[in-house]
């Protein structure tokens, strides 16, 4: 995996992590806000009911109770609040208000389900309010409750004992329920119920809008950042890395591989050498190179090295490897080539060098035409042979070519057989 892909992987992982954490954070914030809005709506309903109760107590109750012929339910604050809030329910469908008790005078106001639990919780803890969310076939509903306490002796006038209650009330509701209340006792609860589905849907839509918008913006920013990193960081680093790799593996003068690179590759090749896939090496040593440096000059010598490299590269195969072994000496590694094939190539290289003079510059910058020849030493790597051994034999073959008059190729197998015992290479790969 290259540097750019690794950076993108790190950026992607960071982006996903940050985006997930941000999404979780904003979900909690939005959820908290919508729950707060629901709670405020419930509290407003409760305050409205409290206002109706107070108005009934202060301005309606006494006047209606003075009627000895009929009991008027509107004189009861809880009845007045329940009826008034039903009118609001027509404007806000799904919302409801109830005043319930464990022992109500009107059985219609008998607490049920969660309402019973809420009243008992008020009695046990003396809490100021309670809220919960329930789910049924109609969806999610927020319930908000406050306790109803007997906080004055006025309440006991109707709910203390049946004997003290107005006769008109007893005639309407009987003497079984709604009595025995005590001063300071929590006998019921005011309960506001508001559908939570609509609010939660708005919450989810808001969150989805935020996440989708932020995702588009974040992806655009990620793309811009990725491009900027590639241009400003990755490409300069890759270019620097390529330059260092080239410096480490190539000869800076000729562009051929350097000696270290050649030895690394050769070590791998000799391990794979066998009868089915022979490996050979050619050593090339320029004849009388010192005369070029001493005559036209080192600039001319450098030009000769570059031109020789170009002609060899144009002659060998792409699979073969040319390296500057040192000074004016070069080495060529040949895959799937035995010694006979390497000799053919060596002679082709001799012809390529002799095909035209080398056009170079002398130390004064003048054009000089030189005839350049080279000596070639050829050997085939033997089964199980170390790379150093094969290179030594190729080097000896080059010196043999020098001693035999230069400008020629010599095969290592033609040297003194008494000093060389070849390994058999009849084992296939």
From the list 210, 152, 192, the residue with the least C-alpha distance to 24 is 210
The DSSP result for 117-157, as a single string, is HHHHHHHHH--S-EEEEEEETTEEEEEEEEEEE--SHHHHH
pLDDT of amino acid 399 = 96
* 292 pLDDT higher than 60: yes
pLDDT of residue 418: 40
Encode pLDDT of 100-138 as tens digits.
888 888 888 898 888 898 899 989 998 988 888 888 777
- The C-alpha atoms of residue 337 and residue 179 are separated, in whole angstroms, by 116
Evaluated on CA atoms 45, 47, 52, 56, the torsion sign reads: positive
CB 305 within 8 A of CB 328: yes
**Does residue 5 have a pLDDT over 80?**
no
User: Where does the pLDDT of residue 428 fall: very low under 50, low under 70, confident under 90, or very high at 90 and above?
Assistant: low
pLDDT digits (tens, 9 = 90+) for 384-405: 788 899 999 999 999 999 999 9
pLDDT score for 423: 45
Q: How many CA atoms lie within 13 A of 29 on its CB side?
A: 9
Please check the confidence at residue 244 and state whether its pLDDT lies above 60.
no
Domains assigned to the chain: 3-203 (no CATH), 259-419 (3.30.70.270)
Q: Is the pLDDT of residue 40 over 70?
A: yes
Over the stretch 296-340, which tens digit does the pLDDT of each residue have? 999 999 999 999 999 999 999 998 999 999 999 999 999 999 999
Determine the pLDDT at residue 257.
92
At CA 13, angle to CA 12 and CA 17, rounded to 5?
115
pLDDT value for 273: 64
H/E segment holding residue 262: helix 259-272
């Amino acid at each position: 995996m290259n540097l750019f892909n690794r950076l993108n992987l790190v950026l992607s992982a960071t982006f996903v992590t940050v985006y997930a954490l941000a999404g979780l954070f904003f979900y909690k914030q939005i959820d908290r806000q919508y729950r707060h809005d629901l709670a405020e709506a419930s509290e407003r309903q409760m305050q409205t009911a409290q206002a109706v109760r107070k108005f009934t107590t202060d301005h309606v109750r006494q006047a209606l109770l003075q009627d000895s012929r009929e009991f008027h339910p509107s004189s009861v604050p809880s009845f007045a609040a329940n009826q008034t809030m039903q009118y609001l329910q027509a404007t806000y469908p799904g919302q409801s208000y109830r005043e319930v008790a464990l022992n109500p005078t009107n059985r219609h106001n008998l607490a049920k389900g969660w309402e019973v639990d809420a009243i008992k919780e008020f009695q046990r803890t003396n809490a100021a309010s309670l809220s919960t969310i329930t789910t049924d076939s109609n969806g999610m509903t927020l319930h908000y409750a406050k306790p109803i306490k007997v906080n004055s002796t006025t309440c006991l006038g109707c709910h203390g004992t049946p004997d003290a209650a107005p006769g008109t009330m007893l005639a309407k509701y009987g003497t079984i329920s709604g009595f025995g209340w005590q001063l300071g006792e929590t006998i019921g609860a005011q309960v506001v119920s508001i559908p939570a589905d609509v609010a939660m849907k708005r919450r989810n839509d808001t969150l989805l809008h935020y996440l989708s918008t932020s995702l588009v913006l974040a992806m655009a920013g990620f793309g811009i950042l990725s491009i900027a990193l590639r241009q400003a960081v990755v490409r300069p680093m890759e270019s620097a890395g390529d330059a260092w790799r080239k410096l480490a593996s190539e000869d800076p003068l000729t562009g051929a591989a350097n000696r270290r690179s050649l030895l690394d590759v050769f070590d791998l090749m000799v391990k794979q050498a066998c009868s089915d896939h022979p490996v050979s090496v050619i050593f090339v040593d320029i004849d009388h190179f010192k005369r070029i440096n001493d005559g036209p000059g080192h600039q001319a010598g450098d030009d000769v090295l570059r031109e020789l490299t170009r002609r060899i590269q144009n002659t060998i195969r792409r699979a073969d490897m040319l390296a500057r072994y040192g000074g004016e000496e070069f080495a060529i590694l040949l895959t799937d080539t035995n010694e006979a094939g390497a000799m053919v190539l060596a002679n082709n290289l001799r012809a390529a060098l002799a095909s035209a003079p080398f056009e170079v510059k002398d130390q004064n910058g003048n054009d000089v035409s030189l005839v350049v020849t080279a000596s070639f030493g050829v050997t085939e790597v033997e089964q199980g042979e170390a790379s150093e051994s094969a290179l030594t034999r190729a080097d000896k073959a080059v010196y043999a070519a020098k001693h035999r008059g230069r400008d020629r190729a010599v095969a290592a197998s033609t040297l003194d057989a008494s000093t060389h015992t070849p390994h058999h290479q009849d084992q296939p790969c």
